[in-house]
Amino acid sequence: MGRGFLLMLLLIALPAAAQIYKYTDASGNTAYSNQPPDGIKAQPVELPPLNSVEPQAPSAPPAEANRRDQSRNAYEVLELTGLPTEEALRANNGTFTVSVRIKPRLQGPQLFRLLLDNQPYGQPSNVPILQLVNIDRGEHSLAVQVISGESLVQQSPSVTFTVQRVHKP
C-alpha cells in the first residue's frame, strides 16, 4: 500500500511534461523517480494524458420549462372560507377568524398573508386559520396571499363582506 500511495503522490505532484523513471533498488523494491539513478537500469514510464474539462456557461432553461416550474409551484385551490357573503358578519368587538382552503398543502418556507381592503394585515403565518381583531364595521374586502420571503407566489380571489358591530351608547 505504501508504494502505491507514493506512486499516486508522484503522479499528482509532478507536472505533465516531466519524465518518470521506474527501477528496482538494491533491496529489490520497485521505485519511481523523476531522474534516472546512476548505474541502475531505469525504464521511462509512459503516462496517459491528463483529462481536462472546459467550464461551460450555464444554459438558460427553455421558456416551456419555466412555465412548467411556475405551474408546479402554483396551488390548485387557494381561497378564504368562513366569511358570510349574503349577510353581515356579526362581530360585536370586531374580532373573528377566517380559514384558508389550500390544495396541495402549503409548501416549505411559504407563508399566508392576509390582505384587508388591499393592504397587508397582521403577521404572515403558516397556519391556515387567521384571526382579525377590532375590524371596523362596514364593508371590507379580504384575500389571502401565499408568499415566499417578499415574493408573491399566489393570491386568492377577494371576498367582499360586511362587519356588523353593535354600538352601545
Q: What is the CATH number of domain 72-164?
A: 2.60.40.10
Q: Look up residue 161 and give its three cell numbers.
A: 363582506
**Predicted structure pTM score:** 0.55
pLDDT values of the chain reduced to their tens digit, one per residue, 169 residues = 566 666 666 566 555 456 888 888 888 888 888 888 888 888 888 877 777 777 766 665 555 444 444 445 479 999 999 888 788 888 888 889 999 999 999 988 999 999 999 999 999 999 999 999 998 989 999 999 999 988 999 999 999 988 988 766 5
**Domain spans, the chain:** 2-45, 72-164
The phi-psi region of residue 128 (left if phi > 0; otherwise alpha if psi is between -120 and 50; otherwise beta) is alpha
CA nearest neighbour of 102 among 93, 115, 111? 111
Cβ contacts of residue 157 below 8 Å, gap of 6+?
Answer: 79, 143
Q: Do 42 and 23 form a contact (C-beta atoms < 8 A)? A: yes
Residue 141: Cβ within 10 Å count: 12
Burial of 146 (0-12, 13-18, 19+ CB in 10 A): buried
